[in-house]
Amino acid sequence: MTTRRLVLSSSARAAQPWCTSYFLPLSNVQIKGDGARLTVRWSDCGQKVSSTRGAFNEVISYVYDAERPNRCLSLGFGSVAGKYSPLEVYRDLEAKDVNRCQ
């Protein structure tokens, strides 16, 4: 599975700078924007599915299910005062990424 990396970091002027990253699949990423909040949902290959065969045998598998995301990231922005909302910025970046591949 090919992935895209999302990196979030604090301002360089922060008293305690921080940085974290997430690996997202290239497809089936659900984005929802609501004012200054952006919610990103996606699936990875770590969704545990168990079933029983007979009375004592439990079969455990880890699968990828794009229809039921098991990861969620909610981002809050200080304000939406500006030309674009966070969702519009993401969609614009995604469109540029698609055009670059063609």
| Domain segments of the chain as ranges | 3-10+18-42+69-101
Q: What is the pTM of this model?
A: 0.63
Cα 80 to Cα 66: distance, rounded to the nearest angstrom: 30
CA 78 to chain CA mean position, Å: 20
Structure confidence by residue, pLDDT tens digits, 20-44:
888 888 778 888 877 778 888 888 8
> Percent of the chain beyond pLDDT 90?
2
The residue ranges of DSSP E strands in 3-88, in sequence order, are 3-9, 19-25, 30-34, 37-42, 47-53, 57-63, 71-76
Q: Given its phi and psi angles, is residue 27 left (phi above 0), alpha (psi -120 to 50 degrees) or beta?
A: beta
